[in-house]
Amino acid sequence: MGLSLVVLVVAGAIVARPLYVALATHTVRNRMTGQTRHFEDGLHAYLCGTGSPIADAERAGPCIAVVAGRHRYVVDAGEGSARNIQLGGLNMGKVEAILLTHFHSDHIADLGEMMLQHWAGGSNAQPTPVIGPEGVEQVVEGFNIAYRLDTGYRVAHHGPTTLPPTGAGGIAEPLVLGKEENASVVVMDKDGLRITAFKVDHRPVVPAVGYRFDYKGRSIVISGDTAYSPSLLEHSKGADLLFHDALNRGMVQLINENAHLSGSPSLGQITHDIPSYHASPEDAARIANSAGVRHLVYYHVIPPLPNRIVKYMFVGDARRYYKGPITVGSDGMLFSLPANSTEIIRKNLLK
């Protein structure tokens, strides 16, 4: 009986091994061919991070990848967002630049990893352009220093042909903005794509900016972090999509009232302070309405939303102020705006 069982197990293993290999090969090939996703001509926005500094198992830190024709950009580099970029099939090696809205830690935490993936993912011989407000030079220099040893290890291991040493790290490109509250500057304008950076109100963080992308009759606006901002309203006019950060003040107040239970000596003060420099869902709705935006999407969601009921409550009274479609963004959402049309297509790349 024992010998028969052994024979059956061995025979099963012999038969099963080719099946295992075939399944593994199929899985690997699917993953490899999905490393660079194809996008139809138009303007696309992928939410690679919709969370905040408050830990949320469902959300990486703030990050939106934008594809316009053959051009690819990433706006902000929140913690965990670099992994979501990979999982969504957006090869960082093909990204032209990383655009930063400001330098709070939750917006730059994955910058080093993104610069590494840009270098290693494309064997790029030039460092990653990192565009942002004044101060971006200091941020990029810090990450370059922190990754310098890692760079040496990787070149030594894989060779300079695979990883050209000149392509490691990033190169800062500071924005030059005027003193006006609504000051703006064109970041790039070619191949039908125009990117505009404009001031927003995230005081005491100065300057902080949002970005507008216009391409073949379609447009999206990304707020970055801001309180209600007339400048954002001005630069959002007629946009197809407005991605706006949002903080539900009632929910944050509830956290504040119970902060003493956390054991953190700072949580009470922090949750008292943060509503002053973030817009509420209602604030964002007012902006969307006044600007004539076609679709409002919340990202950089504060606080975390553990279930559908809380998610519904998060929107608050926003629908009183804006009658267009409102979406509470989640990681993996892709919004596609085909060129020269009015269509907005939504799907999730992580599900």
Say if residue 13's pLDDT is above 60.
no
Output the CA–CA distances (angstroms, integers) from residue 161 to 114, 129, 173, 337, in the order listed.
20, 21, 27, 38
Q: Check: CB of residue 71 under 8 Å from CB of residue 92.
A: no
For 195-246, the pLDDT digits (tens) are 999 999 999 999 999 999 999 999 999 999 999 999 999 999 999 999 999 9
Mention the CATH class of domain 40-103+180-348: alpha beta
Cα dihedral sign for 70, 133, 211, 100?
Answer: positive
Q: Which residues pair with 44 in a beta bridge?
A: 67, 336
* Averaged confidence pLDDT in the chain: 92
Collapsed DSSP state (helix, strand, coil) of residue 36: coil
Of the candidates 191, 192, 184, the one whose C-alpha atom is nearest the C-alpha of residue 209 is 184
- The per-residue pLDDT for 36 is 72
Domain definitions of the chain by residue range: 40-103+180-348
For 142-165, the pLDDT digits (tens) are 999 999 999 999 999 999 999 999
pTM of the predicted protein model: 0.92
Band of residue 262 on the pLDDT scale cut at 50, 70, 90 = confident
Question: Average pLDDT for residues 242-265, to the nearest whole number?
Answer: 93
Q: Check: CB of residue 289 under 8 Å from CB of residue 321.
A: yes
Say if residue 19's pLDDT is above 90.
no
Band of residue 253 on the pLDDT scale cut at 50, 70, 90 = very high
Q: Check: CB of residue 350 under 8 Å from CB of residue 87.
A: yes
In angstroms, rounded to a whole number, what is the distance separating the alpha carbons of residues 122 and 148?
A: 19
Question: Average pLDDT for residues 245-264, to the nearest whole number?
Answer: 92
Question: Average pLDDT for residues 183-188, to the nearest whole number?
Answer: 96
- Choice among 106, 214, 225, 283 that is catalytic: 106
Would you state the structure tokens that stand for residue 136, as one six-digit string?
Answer: 């971006």
Would you state the structure tokens that stand for residue 10, as one six-digit string?
Answer: 């061995």
- The per-residue pLDDT for 18 is 75
Residue 331 bears catalytic tag:
no
DSSP assignment letter at 341? S
Of the candidates 72, 205, 197, 220, the one whose C-alpha atom is nearest the C-alpha of residue 139 is 205
DSSP per residue, 310-329: HHHHHTTTHHHH--S-EEE-
For 42-90, the pLDDT digits (tens) are 999 999 999 999 999 999 999 999 999 999 999 999 999 999 999 999 9
Q: Check: CB of residue 241 under 8 Å from CB of residue 214.
A: no
In angstroms, rounded to a whole number, what is the distance separating the alpha carbons of residues 349 and 47?
A: 9
CB-count burial class (<10 Å; 0-12, 13-18, 19+) for 217: middle
DSSP assignment letter at 27? H
Phi, psi (degrees; rounded to nearest 5) at 140: -65, -40
